[in-house]
Amino acid sequence: MPAVAEHKLSLEVFHARYGGEKPYFEYWDGEAIQKSMPTRLHALIQKVLVQLLDALGYEASQEVTLKLDPAYEPIPDVIAAEGQIGDPYPTEPFEVVIEILSPEDSFSRVLRKCRLYATWGIRQIVVVDPQARLVWSFENGSPRETETVAGRGDRAISAHELWEEVDRRLRTTAP
């Protein structure tokens, strides 16, 4: 996880230097960490996940900065809440966070984020790998492969449903 600064930045300095920059920067305990540049497939998966989560009755969004801890401001790929997502930023735990791997992401960096989300009390922490077409849920400090992307019982998104919808959209947009 390449850091942009060698000394700890205050939140004020971080926001002045990196606020609004794309690709986005995340604040990690005094460091500015640049998010990976998303691919078209990454963006499509985000869009599909938000729509599927909305259809289950969640309020879902993408690329929202979290402000649950003053030492960290990560920007997960997708979040969802059974009620409303905090406005302008979530400051309390919510139900679902999903990270989508980009080709240059290190799995250790993603695991670090997942562990942080778990300490905050986020109930469902999911990692999606578009290249391998795998989905992991993060439970008890480690990932395990799963067939359920998010939701509960009969109100859940399966990995099969996700990939089927992604494939359908890729076919309809192919030249």
**Domain coordinates in residue numbering, the chain:** 1-35, 38-173
pLDDT in the model for residue 5: 46
Residue 127, both tokens: 């990692």
pLDDT in the model for residue 25: 92
Buried b vs exposed e over 82-92: b needs ≥16 C-beta within 10 Å? eeebbeeebee
The CATH classification number of 38-173 equals 3.90.1570.10
Q: What is the pTM of this model?
A: 0.90
Radius of gyration of the chain measured on its C-alpha atoms: 16
Report, as ranges of residue numbers, the positions in the chain whose pLDDT lies below 50.
1, 3-5
